[in-house]
């Protein structure tokens, strides 16, 4: 690490000024406080006002007085007393933050420990986790890295226990920061990835910005300052709308550091001074120290050594008061460089040795490398070859540790994980040409497939027309039979003819069924892609409007569509052929995102049906759900039109709700479909379905089966093997229908991860 850099501290403290809730406005909360009829309600409202009000210190004091008054009053009612104790612990935690921001970490630690003891007494797991995170923060600043790591891991366990995804993401971020400072970049990236997954799941934009900043820090460590700048600027763009001074000033500071490394001192100072102004207005002492130090670095490079030393001394004084040993080590090393530059060897040696001593205590390889490298240069100039050799060996040891090839590869891999475009790396020209040739062959095969599908559709249409003609013929023959009973032989002949024609129609439809089934996803292909699954497919008639389609996309994800075409029987089957053809067209154009595939498929369907002879053009299409599964990273990307996707995890059913519009002509047919992203876990079971099963009439009262009952059946039987689940669903459906008629096509697909 270049000790010019004072990284954005990757820890998340629950400060009263870090507003966690955007659902409450101060005015409405003040009104609620006035109207509150019970002190427990007043405490809850005061706690929210501490989060969102500029006058938060007043409300924190009110919270203290109200809780201290009530705690002894309810000694005979432990449940109510515990509520007031919980809010008193919030006051203690907030007060600890005040002392921490004032640069009094020991007092802050006392308040955090008192808050933790109360939360533990009343079993407030959320509060305990927050307190542990704040205590870990102080231990980290004091240089007790192992203790900080221990407490952050304990806090993570508690937050995951209560499914606090925001808190868990913060703990993971803190743990990643500790591993990063220890030089274990592999571990740091692992925990940053876990933190990012939580934040994306709960749409925590500010948290995403924080992780982007920390990943930028890793890129900077690896020497890729252009990529680091890109991540810092993305983080700044996300943070600006929220107006958080701490986050914005940190982004400005990091961008200034990059411009300093690019030797663009003018822009570096511009960003550093913007950051300093925001930090001073917010009373952020740790940030002020960092900005002063970074401005001093630029001044030193410009030859303004006296000004640089003044700023370093101010920054060092603040960091010493805060007991921020990591910052102290960096500032001491900067000062030593300036003294060496102006040939004050005694002072340079003194400051460099203090920097190395602190760095060795912290175990930070970047700081140790920087300090030992400077000491090697000083001892060499003094002619102290023994000490110079010792420092040179230490410098080489740290350099090799930081430059480990495996670490560099891991850092590069993280780029692809968190670049939102998820593009592949560029390949060599020859490989690119071969890929383009393969794609051309694939397109030609797709075109052939389209031709076959269109031909089949025309054949089915002709079969339907022929069937209608034969039905009319049958009616005429029946009338003739009544009128001409005396012509028994002729009648028998006509009957025989009709039976033959009926057989031809039935044979044609049976043949159409074989053609339709050939276009469905084959069992062989599905078995190659899925390890454990079932498909319950029960058409109402011989052919079906329901269908299921699958393909391997160009980005190596597995796509599966479960669809209900307009109509059922022969019309539904013809529509399903068109829908499958349009899905193939969308995929052949290279679309790989679930919502993009459905959007393009809808365009193709509307275009094909535009000239069907109706006034407004054909309004047929399909309801469906589209799964795109990345098995390697256990990620599910889905888009759905009117049909939901269900995921059962630990006997709990999670529902991905569909867009309320079909894949076809509609009032919203220019609106995009919603892309849902879901982190899968082992043993998750995914279900997709059409509406045929829950809409089936039956039972003792002849009512619909209903969606809720189907959900209960799946939850109760999710532990069964997938084949057994299919048998169970078929048995329940058959018993439910009884003597009634099946009203619609039925499709349910289950996939176990």
Closest to 404 measured CA to CA, from 179, 185, 188: 185
**Structure tokens belonging to residue 206:** 């500010």
Q: How many CB atoms lie within 10 A of CB 403?
A: 12
In a domain, 221, yes or no: no
In a domain, 439, yes or no: yes
Q: How far apart are CA 68 and CA 89, in angstroms?
A: 11
For residues 469-485, give the mean pLDDT: 69
507 shares its domain with 653: no
Contact 115, 94 (CB under 8 A): no
Closest to 256 measured CA to CA, from 238, 242, 273, 268: 268
**Of 16-20, 115-119, 185-189, 546-550, minimum mean pLDDT range:** 16-20
**Structure tokens belonging to residue 317:** 């004084």
Q: What is the pLDDT of residue 247?
A: 85
For residues 69-84, give the mean pLDDT: 91
509 shares its domain with 564: no
406's CB contacts (< 8 A; 6+ apart) are 186
Q: What is the pLDDT of residue 439?
A: 75
Closest to 183 measured CA to CA, from 418, 417, 7, 317: 7
Per-residue pLDDT tens digits for 630-642:
999 999 999 999 9
Closest to 169 measured CA to CA, from 679, 633, 657: 679
Helix (H, G, I), strand (E, B) or coil at 261: helix
Q: Is 90 exceeded by the pLDDT of residue 487? A: no
| Residues paired with residue 678 on neighbouring β-strands, in sequence order | 636
320's CB contacts (< 8 A; 6+ apart) are 328
Q: What is the pLDDT of residue 118?
A: 95
Q: What is the pLDDT of residue 412?
A: 47
Q: How far apart are CA 230 and CA 251, in angstroms?
A: 11
Per-residue pLDDT tens digits for 294-326:
999 999 999 999 999 999 999 999 999 998 898
In a domain, 44, yes or no: yes
Q: What is the pLDDT of residue 554?
A: 93
Per-residue pLDDT tens digits for 653-693:
999 999 999 999 999 989 999 999 999 999 999 999 999 99
For residues 264-283, give the mean pLDDT: 91
Q: Is 80 exceeded by the pLDDT of residue 331? A: yes
Q: Which three-class secondary structure string do you get for 567-622?
A: CCHHHHHHHHHHHHHHHHHHHHCCCCCHHHHHHHHHHHHHHHHCCCCCCCCCCCEE
499 shares its domain with 576: no
Closest to 213 measured CA to CA, from 185, 173, 171: 173
506's CB contacts (< 8 A; 6+ apart) are 542
Per-residue pLDDT tens digits for 351-364:
999 999 998 988 87
Query: Cα 399 to the chain's mean position, in Å?
Result: 35
507 shares its domain with 415: no
Q: Kindly write down the DSSP assignment for every residue of 499-523, as one continuous string.
A: HHHHHHHHHHHHHHHHHHHHHSPPH
CATH of the domain at 24: 1.25.40.10
**Structure tokens belonging to residue 54:** 């500029």
Give the range with max mean pLDDT: 266-270, 271-275, 710-714.
710-714
> Which domain range does residue 651 map to?
520-752
274's CB contacts (< 8 A; 6+ apart) are 249, 252
Q: What is the pLDDT of residue 215?
A: 86
Q: How far apart are CA 159 and CA 136, in angstroms?
A: 15
For residues 38-45, give the mean pLDDT: 89
In a domain, 198, yes or no: no
355 shares its domain with 462: no
31's CB contacts (< 8 A; 6+ apart) are none
665 sits in the region (left: phi over 0; alpha: psi -120 to 50; else beta) called beta
In a domain, 242, yes or no: no
DSSP strand pairing (558-565 vs 746-752):
unpaired
Q: Is 60 exceeded by the pLDDT of residue 466? A: yes
429 shares its domain with 448: yes
572 shares its domain with 690: yes
Q: How far apart are CA 133 and CA 152, in angstroms?
A: 6
pTM metric for this prediction: 0.43
Element (DSSP H or E) covering residue 541: none
Band (164; pLDDT cuts 50, 70, 90) = very high
13 shares its domain with 29: yes
Mean pLDDT across the chain: 85
Band (455; pLDDT cuts 50, 70, 90) = low
Query: Cα 346 to the chain's mean position, in Å?
Result: 53
Q: Kindly write down the DSSP assignment for every residue of 92-124, as one continuous string.
A: HHHHHHHHHHTT-HHHHHHHHHHHHHHHHHTT-
Closest to 4 measured CA to CA, from 243, 223, 261, 242: 261
Band (435; pLDDT cuts 50, 70, 90) = low
Q: What is the pLDDT of residue 244?
A: 74
In a domain, 586, yes or no: yes
Tell me what percent of the residues of the chain surpass a pLDDT of 70: 86
752 sits in the region (left: phi over 0; alpha: psi -120 to 50; else beta) called beta
Per-residue pLDDT tens digits for 375-399:
999 999 999 989 989 999 889 888 8
40 shares its domain with 170: yes
485 CB-contact burial (10 Å; exposed 0-12 / middle 13-18 / buried 19+): exposed
In a domain, 331, yes or no: no
Q: What is the pLDDT of residue 511?
A: 72
Q: What is the pLDDT of residue 23?
A: 44
645 CB-contact burial (10 Å; exposed 0-12 / middle 13-18 / buried 19+): buried
Pairwise pLDDT comparison (5 vs 752), residue with the higher score: 752
698 shares its domain with 583: yes
Per-residue pLDDT tens digits for 692-726:
999 999 998 889 999 999 999 999 999 999 999 99
Q: What is the pLDDT of residue 403?
A: 60
Number of residues that this document lists for the chain: 753
In a domain, 389, yes or no: yes
- Going through 118-168 in order, the beta strands assigned E by DSSP cover none
Tell me what percent of the residues of the chain surpass a pLDDT of 90: 55
Contact 539, 510 (CB under 8 A): no
DSSP strand pairing (635-641 vs 621-630):
antiparallel
| Residues paired with residue 560 on neighbouring β-strands, in sequence order | 550, 627
Give the residue from 515, 543, 573 where a domain finishes.
Answer: 515
Closest to 275 measured CA to CA, from 296, 295, 297: 295
**Structure tokens belonging to residue 10:** 């990757």
For residues 419-426, give the mean pLDDT: 41
- Give φ, ψ of 17 to 5 degrees: -90, -5
For residues 171-178, give the mean pLDDT: 92
Q: Is 50 exceeded by the pLDDT of residue 483? A: yes
643 shares its domain with 680: yes
Q: How far apart are CA 700 and CA 735, in angstroms?
A: 10
Q: What is the pLDDT of residue 457?
A: 74
Q: What is the pLDDT of residue 405?
A: 44
Q: What is the pLDDT of residue 288?
A: 94
Q: What is the pLDDT of residue 180?
A: 84
Closest to 12 measured CA to CA, from 254, 204, 174: 174
Q: CA 90, 94, 97: angle at the middle one, nearest 5?
A: 145
For residues 431-449, give the mean pLDDT: 70
Per-residue pLDDT tens digits for 188-224:
889 998 998 999 899 888 888 888 888 888 888 778 8
Max CA distance (Å), the chain: 133
357 shares its domain with 454: no
Q: Is 50 exceeded by the pLDDT of residue 424? A: no
613 sits in the region (left: phi over 0; alpha: psi -120 to 50; else beta) called left
| Residues paired with residue 687 on neighbouring β-strands, in sequence order | 646, 750
For residues 86-105, give the mean pLDDT: 90
Domain count, the chain: 4
Q: Is the dihedral of CA 122, 127, 132, 137 positive or negative?
A: negative
Q: What is the CA radius of gyration of the chain?
A: 35
Give the residue from 422, 454, 474 where a domain finishes.
Answer: 422
Q: What is the pLDDT of residue 422?
A: 43
Q: What is the pLDDT of residue 450?
A: 75
Give the residue from 515, 548, 583 where a domain finishes.
Answer: 515
| Residues paired with residue 550 on neighbouring β-strands, in sequence order | 560
């Amino acid at each position: 690490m270049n000790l010019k850099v004072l990284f954005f501290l990757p820890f998340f403290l629950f400060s009263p000024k870090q507003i966690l809730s955007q659902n409450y406005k101060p005015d409405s909360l003040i009104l609620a406080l006035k109207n509150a009829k019970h002190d427990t309600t007043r405490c809850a409202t005061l706690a929210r006002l501490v989060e969102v009000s500029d006058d938060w210190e007043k409300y924190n004091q009110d919270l203290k007085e109200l809780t201290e008054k009530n705690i002894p009053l309810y000694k005979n009612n432990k449940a109510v007393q515990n509520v007031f104790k919980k809010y008193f612990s919030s006051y203690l935690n907030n007060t600890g933050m005040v002392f921490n921001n004032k640069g009094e970490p020991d007092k802050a630690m006392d308040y955090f420990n008192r808050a933790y003891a109360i939360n533990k007494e009343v079993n407030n797991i959320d509060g305990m986790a927050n307190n542990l995170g704040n205590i870990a923060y102080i231990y980290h600043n004091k240089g007790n890295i192992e203790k900080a790591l221990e407490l952050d891991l304990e806090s993570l366990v508690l937050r995951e226990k209560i499914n606090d995804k925001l808190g868990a993401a913060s703990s993971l971020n803190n743990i990643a920061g500790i591993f990063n400072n220890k030089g274990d970049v592999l571990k740091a990236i692992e925990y940053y990835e876990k933190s990012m997954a939580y934040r994306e799941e709960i749409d925590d934009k500010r948290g995403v910005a924080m992780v982007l900043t920390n990943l930028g820090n890793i890129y900077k460590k690896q020497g890729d300052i252009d990529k680091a700048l890109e991540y810092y600027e993305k983080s700044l763009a996300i943070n600006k709308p929220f107006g958080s001074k701490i986050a914005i000033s940190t982004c400005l500071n990091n961008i200034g550091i990059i411009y300093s490394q690019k030797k663009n001192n003018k822009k570096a100072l511009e960003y550093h001074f913007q950051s300093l102004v925001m930090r001073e207005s917010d009373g952020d002492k740790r940030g002020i120290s960092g900005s002063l130090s970074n401005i001093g670095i630029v001044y030193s490079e410009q030859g303004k050594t006296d000004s640089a030393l003044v700023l370093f001394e101010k920054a060092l004084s603040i960091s010493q008061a805060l007991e921020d040993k990591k910052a102290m080590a960096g500032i001491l090393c900067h000062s030593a460089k300036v003294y060496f530059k102006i040939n004050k060897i005694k002072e340079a040696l003194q400051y460099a040795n203090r920097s190395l001593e602190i760095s060795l205590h912290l175990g930070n390889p970047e700081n140790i490398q920087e300090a030992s490298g400077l000491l090697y240069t000083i001892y060499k100039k003094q002619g102290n070859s023994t000490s110079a050799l010792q420092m040179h060996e230490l410098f080489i040891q740290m350099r090799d540790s930081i430059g480990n090839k495996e670490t560099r590869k891991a850092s590069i891999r993280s780029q692809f994980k968190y670049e939102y475009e998820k593009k592949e790396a560029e390949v060599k020209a020859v490989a690119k040409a071969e890929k383009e040739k393969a794609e051309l062959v694939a397109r030609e095969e797709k075109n052939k497939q389209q031709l076959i599908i269109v031909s089949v559709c025309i054949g089915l249409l002709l079969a339907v027309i022929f069937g209608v003609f034969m039905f009319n013929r049958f009616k005429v023959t029946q009338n003739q039979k009544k009128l001409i009973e005396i012509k028994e032989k002729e009648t028998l002949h006509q009957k025989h003819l009709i039976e033959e024609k009926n057989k031809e129609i039935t044979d044609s439809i049976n043949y159409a069924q074989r053609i339709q089934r050939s276009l469905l996803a084959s069992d062989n292909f599905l078995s190659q892609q899925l390890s454990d699954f079932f498909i319950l497919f029960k058409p109402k008639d011989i052919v079906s409007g329901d269908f299921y389609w699958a393909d391997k996309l160009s980005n190596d994800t597995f796509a599966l569509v479960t669809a209900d075409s307009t109509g059922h029987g022969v019309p539904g089957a013809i529509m399903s052929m068109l829908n499958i053809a349009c899905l193939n067209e969308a995929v052949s154009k290279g679309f790989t995102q679930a919502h993009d595939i459905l959007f393009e498929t809808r365009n193709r369907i509307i275009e094909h049906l535009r000239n069907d002879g109706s006034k407004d053009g054909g309004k047929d299409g399909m309801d469906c759900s589209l799964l795109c599964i990345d098995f390697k990273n256990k990620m599910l990307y889905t888009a759905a039109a009117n049909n939901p996707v269900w995921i059962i995890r630990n006997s709990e059913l999670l529902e991905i709700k569909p867009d309320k519009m079909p894949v076809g002509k509609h009032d919203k047919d220019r609106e995009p479909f919603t892309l849902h992203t879901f982190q899968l876990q082992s043993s998750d079971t995914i279900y997709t379905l059409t509406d045929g099963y829950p809409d089936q009439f039956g039972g003792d009262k002849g009512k619909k089966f209903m969606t809720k009952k189907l959900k209960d059946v799946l939850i109760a039987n999710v532990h069964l093997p997938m084949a057994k689940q299919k048998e169970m669903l078929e048995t329940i459906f058959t018993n439910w229908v009884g003597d009634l008629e099946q009203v619609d096509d039925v499709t349910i697909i289950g996939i176990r991860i």
